[in-house]
Amino acid sequence: MKYLIPFTFFLLTFTSFAQKDCQYSTNIKDSIGTYKVTNEYLISEKNFGNTSNYIFFSLAQTDGLPTLNLQSIQKSKDFIKANCFDKNSKVFLQLQNGKVVTLIHINQENCGTLLRDKDINNRINTGVFMFMKDNFEELKKSPVTIMRIKYLTDVVDYIVRGEIVSEMNGKTYHPATYFIENIRCVE
């Protein structure tokens, strides 16, 4: 009996902090349907010399269909080559348990936008990727360790770290567990 009160307190505390609330940048429900998008989340940051590369994820749900929005931002004083998304583009996510999850790009070619700001070139590219039904559940179970993005003419690998303290804004991110923590927001 003397252990019942501490056990109850522990159980209530654990369940109240187990999951964070979903935060959406867009959450619309009207007569046409529903559309919601989670806030963008830093997955990869590379700074070397005059070049910076950032990959952001956000999850979207359109009328019950979950998708991954991937945004790539490149900044450099030098020329930035275009990495285009096309109908054959894919995102491969290798999980800690050894399984590989494949996401398929929607059939929309996109090479991004080049913006010049004084001495710095900026290229912003966005792609929308669909989850495959058979491996959607795997993302809830295991952290991501490696991400491979297949562009139209190139393949780029990224090591997905457990924790990033961003040089851009000083915030701490946990990209390896992004799907474990957020995929429920678009189910």
By C-alpha distance, which of 67, 82, 65, 72 is closest to 43? 72
Other CB atoms within a 10 A radius of the CB of residue 120 amount to 14
Three-state DSSP state, 178: helix
pLDDT score of 143 more than 60:
yes
pLDDT score of 1 more than 80:
no
- pLDDT score of 2: 52
Q: How confident is the model at residue 184 (pLDDT cuts 50, 70, 90)?
A: very high
User: What is the domain count for the chain?
Assistant: 1
59-86 burial string, b = 16+ CB within 10 Å, else e?
bbbeeeeebbbbbbbbbbeeebebbbbb
Q: 171 in a domain, yes or no?
A: yes
Q: How confident is the model at residue 98 (pLDDT cuts 50, 70, 90)?
A: very high
What is the average pLDDT value for the chain, to the nearest integer? 87
pLDDT score of 172 more than 70:
yes
Q: 15 in a domain, yes or no?
A: no
Distance between CA atoms of residues 71 and 177, nearest Å? 18
Q: 13 in a domain, yes or no?
A: no
Q: 136 in a domain, yes or no?
A: yes
- pLDDT score of 53: 95
Domain that includes residue 177, residue range? 24-186
Strand-pairing partners, residue 93, are: 101, 147
Q: 2 in a domain, yes or no?
A: no
| Structure tokens given for 91 | 């995102």
17-76 per-position pLDDT tens digit = 455 788 888 888 888 888 899 999 999 999 998 899 999 999 999 888 899 999 999 999
Q: 110 in a domain, yes or no?
A: yes
Q: 46 in a domain, yes or no?
A: yes
Q: 12 in a domain, yes or no?
A: no
Q: How confident is the model at residue 102 (pLDDT cuts 50, 70, 90)?
A: very high
Whole-model pTM: value is 0.84
The single residue listed with the structure tokens 């991400």 is: 147
The single residue listed with the structure tokens 């348990």 is: 97
Q: Which strand (E) or helix (H) includes residue 16?
A: helix 4-17
Q: What 8-state DSSP symbol labels residue 22?
A: P
% of the chain residues with pLDDT over 90:
63
Q: How confident is the model at residue 9 (pLDDT cuts 50, 70, 90)?
A: very low
